[in-house]
Amino acid sequence: RKEVEQDPGPFNVPEGATVAFNCTYSNSASQSFFWYRQDCRKEPKLLMSVYSSGNEDGRFTAQLNRASQYISLLIRDSKLSDSATYLCVVALDNYGQNFVFGPGTRLSVLP
Residues that bind another protein (CB under 8 A): 32, 34, 41-46, 49, 87, 91, 94-97, 99-104
In angstroms, the CA 87 to CA 35 distance is 6
Give the shortest CB-109-to-another protein separation in angstroms: 19
CB closer to another protein out of 17 and 49: 49
Give the shortest CB-80-to-another protein separation in angstroms: 22
In angstroms, the CA 48 to CA 67 distance is 21
One-character DSSP codes across 8-57: ---EEEETT--EEEEEEES-TT--EEEEEEE-TTS-EEEEEEE-TT-EEE
Amino acid found at 78 = S
Give the shortest CB-53-to-another protein separation in angstroms: 17
CB closer to another protein out of 5 and 69: 5
Partner residues linked to 110 by β-bridges = 14
CB closer to another protein out of 75 and 88: 88
CB closer to another protein out of 82 and 104: 104
